[in-house]
Structure 1
Amino acid sequence: MHGVSDSSRDTVEGAGWNAAERGEYRRLLPGRVEKLSWLNPRTLWAARNGVVASWFGDPTGRTRERWVAQRAAAGAPADKVVRRAEGDRFSFMVLGDTGEGDESQYAVVPGFLKVSRDTSFAVIASDVIYPVGRTDDYGTKFFRPYQDYPAPVYAVPGNHDWYEDLGGFMRVFCDDAPPLEPEPAPRALSGAWWRTLLWHRPRPADEAALTEARKLRSAPGQQAVQPGPYWAIDAGPVRIVGIDTGLLGTLDAEQGAWLREVSRGPRPKILITGSPLYVDGEHHPCAIEGGGTVDDVVRDPAHRYVAAIGGDIHNYQRYPVDVDGRVVQYVVSGGGGAFMHATHTIPRVSVANVTERDFRCYPLRGDSLAFYGRLYGRRLRLPRFFALTEAEAMAVVAERLGVPPVRHPAGPVRVTRRMRLVASLLGAGRRPER
């Protein structure tokens, strides 16, 4: 007798429905868990730097150059390549957008530890720490949840890690890098002056707490030092290239020149980025200051990229794109611990010759719609109106997209006007022509 499939494409159990009890992750939680809410004005105000940068100019490129120069002066390799002694066959983990520090993060830790057995290292792709990358948050949002992962963890920062000028990230991942020296005050009433006036600045770190937190991942096999916020890792036959897309999802000219240089050569490559290049059915090639895009580098056949994996969006998506006869896997890997972004809002996929037949996402759109229907039903106190079973949600999504259901229900499902209205109110995707 065959066991029940653990794939959400096959069974409701594989999608996580009908679970009788919560997972074992609860024993991993700290004694006091601060629930992160993006509806809290204090959280939004602390995370304001992205908006300020879009209004008055983005200082990320200049700050990044200063961090890189500091690390170079401290002895980091000029090519920013970490060379690991791996064999021809090895595996590593990628998880993105991890650091909320509440149940949404800890719930995926047991699964991560199970799947990651015998992996050589892990890479966090974007947003290691929410909401603003504070040094003091690394204890409960990085060291504690991953204390039982026996191998090193590398990372590329996301926009939230930049909300305190990357100070916490550089201390934890880049050899305890000291703070940057203050820059001269800008000219009064200039854009930079207004930006400085409104900028969220880091608080002093609790050094004793950070020292204690580091003890949770103090085993020799867990240690790693990366040369800066962007880097490459040579491991076995592959080169893994990690880039830092800063606050607004772009690369400065210096990093762009490094990316082009480190991408040369016959070794197959995997890109890790804080901003995915294909997401929600759209192409976001990621501009490089001075001209060109990150995707130009990935698509160049001489560079031999086989995949480009990005965080930032909190779910899983995969687009196998044919690039002049070779397939590059463009992946969104942002379901590593933050709240799950909806997938039911993704329209029918038709981008770069990738169609619904090739596209994959998790959660499935129908499961996403059913979950958000229950969520908004509770919040608006209209549970009977918004509630959709997973089979109903799967059916109405299939109707709106004009495709067969991904997971077939046990019996027939009639799509009603209420179901269509709920799907519309919750922003379910449609065919492009509708």
Structure 2
Amino acid sequence: MTRWQLTLKRLLWRDPKRTDEAAVTRMQTLRARPEQVADQPGPYFAIDAGPLLIVGIDTGITGIIDRDQAKWLQEISRRSPKPKFLVTGKPLYVDGKRHPSLIEDGHGTVDDIVTSSENNYVAAIGGDVHNYQRYPVTLKDGRTIQYIVNGGGGAGTQGTHKIPRVDLPGVGESDFRCYPRRADSLSIFSQMYERRFGRMLGSLFIPPDQAAALLEERLGVTPTRRADRGVPIAPESRRALKIVELGRQRLPGPLHEYFVQFFDYNHPPMFKSWLRVDASTDEILIRCFAATGCREHEKDVPVEDAVLGTLQADGAWRWTTEVG
């Protein structure tokens, strides 16, 4: 680290307190029976959820897992024939790119374990990025795994308009889903830029229909709402886009987090989201619900994306998109 980075770290980082061993001992007496004592080897776990096995791993800040954790993941993945969900900190697919999550000392990747047919994974869900993304990746053997970014409940919404056109092995733009939708994301972020810099730079707001047209022009993505198709783009919107685009690059270290908070907003609609999974022995339904902060959505919560997996006679899962 450079000198200024070390200085900043001392100012912003808090050293952990010493562990109060006596307090830990007192807490352990509250769950002292043998069946209450967990044998969890580290910050990773497996939960038998009936028709599913949910496996959680600790990818840390770097997205790399250690050899002991990788060995445990291999063993727990092969032990049960149930369909499995992997829950990670760092998503394996995000922002139009694949991040397979390396194993320490070059011993393969987490995604190698997920895609192995003998392990029977049907989904891998990560957080970290504060929005919703879904990549239904079809493997060479015909199986499809749902790779999902489920960080939309986190503080500081991150824009989806920055996601490039999806063109990856096994998944293309037509199958990709995100929330907020790219056009809505661009429009709401332009509104935030106008609130912060409008007096200095003039109008920066891009209406949602023109945001959709701009993204169609740039990414070749057909607007999802029919009413947004063929909309003429005003010169003011093109000018605003150039300024909003200055925020595309990720700033280094803690500066990025302050930048995200600076452009966060707390006015409905807020474009937050949460995930729900319903599973039986022959069906798995994954749904992304919007959390807008609007009163009418409290009782009738919008479903922004839904995908249904159905178990076939040959043991394979067939997935169909139910919304979007």
Shift of 1:366: 0.6
Shift of 1:246: 1.4
Tell me if 1:404 matches 2:222: yes
Shift of 1:322: 0.5
Tell me if 1:300 matches 2:120: no
1:321 aligns to what SS in structure 2? strand
2:284 corresponds in structure 1 to: none
Q: Distance in 1 between matches of 2:38 and 2:202?
A: 53
Q: Distance in 2 between matches of 1:390 and 1:276?
A: 28
Letter in 2 for 1:201: D
- Map 1:189-200; keep pairs closer than 5 Å: 200=14
Q: Distance in 2 between matches of 1:353 and 1:419?
A: 35
- 8 Å contact 1:244–1:251 — kept in the other structure? yes
Tell me the number of residue pairs that the alignment of Structure 1 and Structure 2 aligns. Answer: 222
1:232 aligns to what SS in structure 2? strand
Tell me if 1:280 matches 2:95: yes
Letter in 2 for 1:393: A
Tell me if 1:315 matches 2:144: no
2:74 corresponds in structure 1 to: 260
Q: Distance in 2 between matches of 1:224 and 1:421?
A: 61
Q: Distance in 2 between matches of 1:316 and 1:364?
A: 9
Letter in 1 for 2:73: L
TM-score, with length taken from structure 2: 0.62
- 8 Å contact 2:213–2:229 — kept in the other structure? no
Q: Distance in 2 between matches of 1:47 and 1:333?
A: 31
Letter in 1 for 2:16: P
Q: Distance in 2 between matches of 1:47 and 1:349?
A: 40
1:427 aligns to what SS in structure 2? helix
The higher-RCO structure (CA 8 Å, 6+ apart) is 1
> What is the aligned counterpart of 1:232 among 39, 46, 60?
46
Question: Closer, same or farther in 2 for the Cα pair 1:288/1:379, shift >3 Å?
Answer: same
- 8 Å contact 2:85–2:122 — kept in the other structure? yes
1:263 aligns to what SS in structure 2? helix
- 8 Å contact 2:93–2:148 — kept in the other structure? yes
TM-score, with length taken from structure 1: 0.47
For the aligned residue pairs, the C-alpha RMSD in angstroms reads 3.0
> What is the aligned counterpart of 1:393 among 197, 211, 222?
211
Tell me if 1:364 matches 2:181: yes
Deviations 1:103-124 (A, max 9, x none): xxxxxxxxxxxxxxxxxxxxxx
Q: Distance in 2 between matches of 1:224 and 1:312?
A: 30
2:194 corresponds in structure 1 to: 377
Tell me if 1:414 matches 2:228: no
Q: Distance in 1 between matches of 2:239 and 2:95?
A: 22
- 8 Å contact 2:212–2:228 — kept in the other structure? no
Instruction: Give the unaligned 5+ runs of structure 1.
Output: 1-40, 50-199, 207-222
Q: Distance in 2 between matches of 1:246 and 1:288?
A: 12
Shift of 1:235: 1.7
Shift of 1:365: 0.6
Q: Distance in 1 between matches of 2:229 and 2:76?
A: 54
Letter in 1 for 2:155: A
Deviations 1:400-432 (A, max 9, x none): 1112111233786211333233324323999xx
2:312 corresponds in structure 1 to: none
Q: Distance in 2 between matches of 1:385 and 1:226?
A: 59
- 8 Å contact 1:397–1:429 — kept in the other structure? no
Shift of 1:350: 0.5
Shift of 1:337: 3.0
Question: Closer, same or farther in 2 for the Cα pair 1:46/1:421, shift >3 Å?
Answer: farther
